[in-house]
Structure 1
């Protein structure tokens, strides 16, 4: 049985730009060094938005409160070794301060430029949605 993870991700926006985080080397080559929206796994009994607040605190020292109505979309994606259900939330940041603890790079890009990066496959539908909304 393939492992399935329920995860949350933050689309963090500041001054019209989106925060893109580059993953470190990991167990699987197909997600190593790919760009992603920051977040992580939901722990048992956790609400999605509070899981996201916790992950951003742990990974980036980012203290941000995420309202439930900031929900953007859910992506189902199957990688070769595991599957994920990813719930994305749109978060506006007043102060773009954070510490990179687990990532190797961070970039702030306008939605139109997001597709210039090499994204993790599960994050691509979010990238596409952000680019469509920019055009409309």
Structure 2
């Protein structure tokens, strides 16, 4: 039986309608690829609570739950697990994102998202995000 891994992610959109991508660091799986910030949902957490925690840990920003709007989800079969990821759009937060756990951050115009190499689970999200942002 395939193990399901629940993660959550944010499409952070700035005032210029650019989207924040985070580059996975060396030494981790899928190192060097770009992704939407977020992370694993821990036992007892809602996806929103997990995302708020992850954005604070990874980027040093404060997000309030009413600022997270459900956008879409990803469902992808990796060789050792199946990833299920609700994705939220967020246009308001406190603080300036910094790469605490990533190799780099990039603010990307929505039409250029496809130019960044991403994990397979993130690729189907690009057209949805481009249509919605």
TM-score by length of 1: 0.87
Check conservation: 2:25, 2:31, Cα contact below 8 A: yes
Task: Determine helix, strand or coil for the equivalent of 1:123.
Answer: coil
Name the counterpart of 2:12.
12
Residue of structure 2 in register with 1:49 after alignment: 48
- What are the ranges of 5 or more consecutive residues in structure 1 without an aligned counterpart? none
Q: Deviations over 1:18-50 (max 9, x none)?
A: 00111112443xx22111000001111111111
Give the conservation status (yes or no) of the 8 Å contact 2:67–2:90: no
> Which residue in 1 is equivalent to 2:65?
66
Q: How far 1:68 moved relative to its partner?
A: 7.8
Q: Alignment RMSD, CA only?
A: 1.9
- Aligned residue in 2 for 1:85: 84
Checking the alignment, whether the CA contact within 8 Å between 1:49 and 1:68 is kept in structure 2 is: no
Q: How many pairs align? A: 132
How far does the alpha carbon of each residue in 1:72-97 deviate from its partner, in whole angstroms, 9 at most, with x for none? 11111111222210000000036660
Per the alignment, do residues 67 and 105 of structure 1 end up closer, same or farther by CA in structure 2, a change over 3 Å counting?
same
* Mapped pair 1:23 → 2:24: yes
Does the 8 Å CA contact 1:66/1:91 hold for their aligned counterparts? no
**In proportion to residue count, which structure has more helix?**
1
In structure 2, the CA distance between the partners of 1:3 and 1:62, relative to structure 1 (3 Å rule), is same
Cα 1:2–1:26 change in 2 (3 A) is farther
Aligned with 1:132: secondary structure? Answer: helix
Distance 1:95 1:45, change over 3 A: closer
TM-score (norm 2): 0.89
